[in-house]
Structure 1
Amino acid sequence: DHYRVQTDFIQRYVFPGGMLPSEQRLQQETAAAGLIWTGIDRFGQNYADTLAEWGHRFEAAWDEIKGQGFDERFRRLWRFYLSYCEAGFRTERTNVIQLGLSRA
């Protein structure tokens, strides 16, 4: 609930109105909907690698991006976003999950 009521960098600049529910919240909501978890895969570390690669590609393509009219402020914002997210996934403060669900 803290994440829902507090606006962070990503909610303000990247995904306005976005929300990342916790696993605990997902468990509560799926149970309330009459669903049970039949499996879970966590792959945040893989996503951290993806974010790092996106950062490298962003920098490698910067001249082309800049040529489209984007400025240094935009560059700093995206560098920060990609690094911020990568750190969150590497330290397991954030995760990506895939759930298997069935009716209870």
Structure 2
Amino acid sequence: MLYIFITWLILILMLILLAQGIQKISKDREGSNFKRWGGWLIGLFVVGSVPLGYALYTELRGGYIGANIGLGLALFFTWGYCALLLCVILIVWGRYWYKSNKSR
């Protein structure tokens, strides 16, 4: 169960970093960032949290000893999803650092 909570915290941390990176890149544009990107960020959070919710449900409900394939698949999907989010975060922050160094 600890793996599920740690993975969930890592997912939230990555989404926060992504939101901050998007906010820094689009700082010069007009309009609210949450109006443009809020729906996407909530959608990304739901896509990453549903498998973790399923894993937590099966972990708490199941009292049998044995291999829990659903738990493994849910964590494997979420870890892959976190790796994909990490690549996107690195691209977003790389663009921000490139733009800030280019303007100097």
- Which one has a larger percent helix, Structure 1 or Structure 2? 2
TM-score (norm 2): 0.34
TM-score (norm 1): 0.34
